[in-house]
Amino acid sequence: MNLFDLFFIVLAFFFGVISRFRGPIAEFASMSGVIGGMMLAEQVTLPQADRLKGLVSRPDAADLTAYLGAVGFGVILAHFLVRFLVKVKMPSSPPVRQVALLFALLKTLVVSAMIFYLVAAYVPSYLDDLESSFFYSWLSWIRPFISGAKLA
């Protein structure tokens, strides 16, 4: 077990605890925001990175900044859109909490895959540690799935 394994486990625990208090609607909005942000980042990173290369001295930093900016914008946009469309307050019963926990675990999987992609693409010095991670085989199949999704 290395640092990436520990980070992914702590992330899953954190999102699981938070989901107990937020409920399934908020977790669904958050999960859809993260997925929407990743899909948006896959579509717009290269054009935006070319614009940022004139402002940022290192090309890798420009790519990373463009990717994180697109993810952040997509997360905010999708989260507010889902929260606006679904204004339902669900009771706090055990099945509802389990649905919220499921959404939190799916969000953990997507966030972990995004961290996996960012480290693999932009910080290659940590690639050996990432490849020795227990979760490497599970997270390596998510990015092609997200990259293959077309927004338009």
Q: Over range 130-135, report the average pLDDT.
A: 87
In a 13 Å sphere around the CA of 27, the CA atoms on its Cβ side amount to: 26
Band of pLDDT at residue 13, cut at 50, 70 and 90: very high
Which residue's structure tokens are 């679904």?
86
Which residue's structure tokens are 């390596």?
140
**In one letter, which amino acid is 127?**
L
pLDDT at 135 over 50: yes
Please give the model's pTM, rounded to 2 decimal places. Answer: 0.76
